Chain A
Amino acid sequence: MVKFIFRRLLVMIPQLFLLSLIIFILAKQMPGDAVTGAFMGNPNVTPEQVEKIREQYGLNDPWYVQYGAWVGKAVQGDLGSSYTHKQPVTSLLAGRVTNTVTLSLFILIVSYIIAIPLGIIAGRWTDSWSDKLIVTYNYFAFATPLFVFSLLMLFFFGFVLGWFPTGNSVDVRLEVGTWDFYLSKLKHLVLPGMSGALLATAGTIQYLRNDIIDTKLKDFVKTARAKGVPEGKVYTRHILRNSMLPIAAFLGYEITGLISGSIFLEMIFSYPGLGQLFIQSITGRDFTVTTAIVMISGTAVIVGTMLSDIILSAIDPRIRIE
């Protein structure tokens, strides 16, 4: 098992290398650069000055030199500095990464907390009224665009009822580290988090439901019944464990989806996370920030699939690799 995890980690190195290369090249292909983004249309800046700034930041070097410099610094934790924010990307991202990760984890956990019982109920009692209710919910959740649903949530719970704050990730007046500070963080998390989770859960519910319906017809379930295993135990001991496999395998992709989904959520709820920063950095041609964010998201995907592999190999003896 340890060996498998080690090997799986080793595989990540070429993946990350490839990812960084692709991102870097793509970013270079974007029209304009940080300098055009920052100074375009500013009559006080002459083309000579622009050229000087370009030279200063190394933007005129061949791409592989730039790439080498970028990677070399990145592994030391230096992702360059933002042209628009005039501060190191690392410190710019630090707080936002935490926010996005917290938001994603919140969505992930809540969507599983909802999906697992609902999926089991729908799968076990197929065609019952509760199943029909759950399936109907799924249809709605699949059909509703995230931004429409988020806006409704924001309007209703944020403005009409006023139960939750409508922006930011925390009340800035509170002192960091106090109980109230964390409580405020949680309160700020609820609206964007629930908006994401209530929709994201539909996929998992549907997956789990279908898998349980498939699994309960399998021969080994008949074997279990023929052993006299009580119905409840047939589910807990035999069906569910098998049906959880694809859910676990799905975890990695789930993370990918959450990260792209968080862009909408963060924009709508003015939640200072990566997504919000990402949009700003693209419009501002903030090359270093953009590449850093794409790199982080890409890494999250790679780590996610690795997690899926490891979880799967832990629970499925058939792919346990010695």
Chain B
Amino acid sequence: MVELAPGIALNLYLLGALGMAVGLIAGFSGVSGGYMLTPILMVMGMPAPLAVGSSVALMSANNLIGVIRHRRMGHLDLKMGLITAAGTMGGAEIGVRILHGLQGTEGRVADIVVLGVLILTLVLVGGSMLREVIRSSRTLGEDGQSAADEGEVHTAACDFLQGLTIFPHIRFTKSKLRISAWFVLAVGMGIGVLSGFLGIGGGFMLCPALIYLIGQPSTMAVGTNLLGLFVGLAFSTFRHGMLGNVELGVALSMLVATGAGTFIGAKGTSHVKGLAVRYVLAASVVCAIFGPVCTLLYFLSGAGAWDTAAKILTIALMIVPVSAVVTLLIMARRRVRGLEVAPWAARLMANGAQH
């Protein structure tokens, strides 16, 4: 147990187990998992500024691992990544300042505002993800290939933005596109504000934004997204460290657990289709909403039952995406070994999956 303040103690074993679960989902879905981590730390009793600071510190280290791996694989557009990073850094500074301003207010205003904005973000993102996943699974053809499963995506928004020749209109050779740097900077800045204020990495929003708004190919967007997020998160860690908002012991002990989970989860991604990854991501975002809602109700009403419900729901609902990932990993392993797999699982497995 780590005693943060009189009456506030964290169970490190429980945090380690939850960290591993977060890592498993994050590694499988290619996100940093902050939208699960911050609520977990808050539900476990950490005050909002400490939960946000520690979550950001943990994710900066976790994202660095992702950046190193994707650079080796060549999935990194350095030029676009650095412009996104400049945006996330600026945005993170704004987010940290807003949170610091709220810290000075009386009562649990900071906790309530952070949770409220987090819930709103998760509802909006989770809702749109669920809609997209349901649409994609309907269009899943008989050959098991979804129209929106892999490859480049061309939306009206990215065609429009690429058509606007506002200086500096830069050619990104690795991503094979030309767009004004201001749009890339603005996307990064928006995500940076959320990263500094809510302690979420924002990968579950930045990656789709790079694909659907900027028009970057999916494979390049994953690495570029991680670089942009890493710089923003490292800067947020620095700023939260300045304000004493980072619990280094908690962040480091959870890092080992999330690192191990990410390692196992990332291994499974190559065996499944993009749609399976999006199923898990949508389920994890939707499941992450209920715990913070109960905590928010506890802060507003003061009824202890909501606090208990928040703890139970946060842990219980983690089981949904974790068991989905574990089941898919087991099915992928069976398929690689030439054993029989369930028909629903076979539809979600990548063609020509290898070890």
A and B pair up: no
Interface residues of chain A, those whose CB is within 8 Å of chain B, are none
Interface residues of chain B, those whose CB is within 8 Å of chain A, are none
